[in-house]
């Protein structure tokens, strides 16, 4: 079984990296240069944004 394609667009990932403060690392070293903690924080923030969007739609 192969790896699934990424769910987040590159543009969205770049915006998250800018917001979280490690976009310079992405520009310099690519996505492979970020730490596991940064990747986890990026996913956590994406989930948080999705939840906020869903809650906004309920109102």
Domain boundaries, the chain: 10-57
Going from the C-alpha of 42 to that of each of 2, 12, 15, 19, 55, the distances in angstroms are 23, 10, 10, 9, 20
Distance CA 56, CA 18 (A): 24
Provide the pLDDT for residue 22.
Answer: 97
This prediction has a pTM of 0.79
Average pLDDT of each block of 10 consecutive residues along the chain (59 residues)?
A: 71 96 97 96 95 84
Provide the pLDDT for residue 58.
Answer: 74
Q: Residue 42's CB: how many other CB atoms inside 10 A?
A: 20
Provide the pLDDT for residue 5.
Answer: 67
Provide the pLDDT for residue 3.
Answer: 59
CA 5 to chain centre: 14
Provide the pLDDT for residue 39.
Answer: 96
């Amino acid at each position: 079984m192969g790896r699934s394609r990424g769910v987040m667009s590159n543009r969205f990932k770049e915006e998250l990296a800018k917001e979280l403060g490690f976009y310079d690392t992405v520009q310099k070293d690519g996505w492979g240069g970020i730490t596991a903690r940064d990747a986890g924080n990026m996913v956590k923030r994406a989930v948080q944004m999705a939840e906020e969007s869903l809650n906004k739609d309920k109102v």
